Chains A and B, each alone.
Chain A
Amino acid sequence: MSALDRRTLLAAGGVLAAASATGVASARILPSAMVPLIGPGYRPVDADERGMWQQMTRVEEEVAGSNLVVQDPALASYMQGLIAKVGGPAAKDFRIYLVRIPDFNAVMFPTGFAVIFTGLLLRMRNEAQLTGVIAHEAAHFLRKHQIRQYRDTRTKSDIFAMLAMGAGIAGGAAGVNTGDLTQLGQLGTILSLLRYNRVLEAEADAMGVRLLAGAGYDPRAMAETWQQLIAEEKLSAKYRRKKRRRDISLFGTHPTPESRMADLRISAAEVTRPGVFYDARRASYLAAIGKLRPTLLDDQVKLNDPGASQYIVNNLAQDGWNGLLRFHEGEIWRLRNRAGDDVRAAQGYASAVLYPDAPADAWRWHGIMLSKAGRRVEARAALSRYLAMAPNAPDAAFVRQMLVS
């Protein structure tokens, strides 16, 4: 079910190998062929789908009540507005929940509610990119993917997975969990348990592109998102001195990220009409998420995955460096903490404080680094600046003591 997921993306490598060995090639699905299969106010008729809806209603109640959901009514209504733009006939039927998990993931549930992780918001440069992901998720619902996948596979494993998921969330049990996913805990793990097959993913991509262009956004935004994810993975792996993960999984059925990106590019060109102005709408995106961005960056950078974090910071900085991004550049090096990183970190903080929007924390760390380098006068000035900006900071007592000693 997780349509765009940073980790599943990698599982695709093995599938590529398998596909090329058997000569199976998947043709690109044409956006023009992607018409909605449902109308407004859709309700299931058949018994199996009705059962699924019943379970999912319970899951939605649990998700809605989770304390991982970000409580920000303005942001919630902004995202609701986006899905209404690309939701086709079901525009008014969707619900979106933003959950505080620092990973790239978005999930559409069979009943038309979507869960978006904060890590996804962090990685989007503009509204077109975010809306592209939302359009892709909306397409899963509009094309009835959940029930089709269930019926196509003719096994009950998928629906059982969903039912177990419902029980898992409802019961608050430890859920099903495997090594790599421990940090996501229950909710995150559960959300990533379910996946669509590659045909359905390709359909959602094709329809997403069409919905995105139809709403006046640059349809190339979806391919950009993929390109960013691939590049982030590569840099993350490189910093840990390994190749991009290629977990060979027989069950991973996503198209490879590269082929998906290529198809998205062609599809975008296909739906682009000459003479029409397509906007990325960066300003409205920043207006909506700007206040949250320091927290989003913090959540990512403190995971100490320096390659991924550096890619994200640099990617956002394509729209212009500022004090916040420079500060986090320093944070990435400080946490990586290899030989020489302390100097890099100090440089990051020193350049951050040159920007008028430098966060108070940039002054604090600038001061600490100066102090460690023996530059006491400058350190005092920086730490005093920090206390002036954040007099009630929780560590003010400690910083005051640093000033005295």
Chain B
Amino acid sequence: MKSVHALGTALALLLLPACSGVGGGGSGFGISNYTLIRARETRVGTGSLRVTPPREWNRQRGQLFVDIREVEDWTQNGPLLDGISFVTGLKSGDTLVRQTRRDDRQVPKFRSNMTAPEITAMLESLFRVRGGTVDFKTLGLAPRPFLGQAGFQFDYEHLDSDEVWRRGRAVGATVDGRLYLILLDAARAHYYDATLPDFEAITASARKVR
């Protein structure tokens, strides 16, 4: 989940200079941390969701011990500036990122009987626990159909401890007891507005395949 990215990823890049490609995307082993996503229908996450981006995006390779297979992250200008995350069928009792049972601060578990306010509160804690967010403001929560279900749209902004304000929008629904969600999170200055049309097009194109 790279929307919690900002600091975590910056950190990973610092600590592992040998196997991280900043900007260039090279790892030294001929393996890139990014894969090109073409502007055509693409399977994301576990493959249970298909979306069609209006232009090319970059898929980030999941981080071992951090990311789960139900979550896939895309970026346009790098995870510190913008990112779209797809949650593709998170099971009841699971969390959006890997964590150990003994972490003091934990991202709450998803439960299939959660209402939208509970799901969005879970997202807020994700940012606070894993993203270095110190101030989080809900800008709006409204009903919005998603994947043919009664879903929700969640708008928010947050100040992170790298002193950058970021803004986001999440559109999601629980389908057959599993969480499906697409989330845009980007620097509030410029990048959010610049990627919102793509997010909307991607969200509108989303269809569940299994």
Query: A residues near B, CB below 8 A?
Result: 66-68, 100-102, 172, 174, 177, 182-188, 236-237, 240-242, 299, 302-305, 308, 334-337, 364-365, 368, 371-372, 394-395, 397-398, 401-402
* A302 touching B8, Cβ below 8 Å: no
Q: Are A303 and B105 in contact (CB under 8 A)?
A: yes
- Given A101-B161, A185-B161, A395-B140, 10 new contacts (CB under 8 A): A68-B134, A187-B161, A241-B101, A299-B128, A302-B124, A302-B125, A303-B125, A337-B108, A368-B118, A395-B117
Residues of B with Cβ closer than 8 Å to A? 7-8, 10-11, 14, 101-109, 111, 113, 115-118, 121, 124-125, 128-130, 132, 134-143, 152, 155, 159-163, 165
Let me know if B140 and A397 touch, CB within 8 A. yes
Instruction: Say how far A153's CB is from chain B's closest CB, in angstroms.
Output: 27
Which residues of A have CB within 8 Å of B104? 236-237, 240, 305, 308
A337 contacts B162, CB within 8 Å?
no
The CA of A177 and the CA of B15, in the complex, are separated in Å by 9
A184 close to B161 (CB less than 8 A)? yes
Contacts of A187 on B, CB cut-off 8 Å? 161, 163
Interface on chain B toward A: helix, strand, loop, or mixed SS?
A: mixed
- Given the complex, which residues of A lie within 8 Å of B129, measured CB to CB? 183, 303-304
Distance (Å) between the CB of A356 and the closest chain B CB?
24
- Complex: A337 Cα to B118 Cα, angstroms: 11
Which residues in B have their C-beta under 8 angstroms from that of A336?
A: 108
Complex partner residue of A68 from B11, B102, B138, B161, CB under 8 angstroms: B161
B162 / chain A contacts, CB cutoff of 8 Å = 174, 185-186
The 7 closest A-B pairs by CB, nearest first: A185-B161, A395-B141, A397-B142, A398-B141, A185-B132, A303-B105, A394-B138
CB-CB < 8 A to B116: which residues of A? 398
- Residues of chain A with a CB closer than 8 A to B132's CB: 182-185
Contact partner of B125 among A101, A335, A364, A397, CB < 8 A? A335
Q: List 24 A-B contacts (CB under 8 A).
A: A100-B134, A100-B159, A102-B128, A177-B14, A182-B11, A183-B130, A183-B161, A186-B163, A240-B104, A241-B101, A242-B102, A302-B121, A303-B125, A303-B128, A304-B107, A305-B105, A335-B108, A337-B108, A337-B109, A337-B111, A368-B117, A368-B118, A372-B115, A397-B143
CB pair B117 A398 closer than 8 Å: yes
CA distance in complex: A395, B102 (Å): 33
Distance of A386 from chain B, by nearest CB (Å): 11
Q: How far is the CB of A120 from chain B (nearest CB, A)?
A: 14
> Which residues of chain A are near B142, meaning CB under 8 Å?
395, 397-398, 401
Which listed residue (A67, A186, A335) contacts B121, Cβ 8 A?
A335
- Contact A395–B138 (Cβ < 8 Å): yes
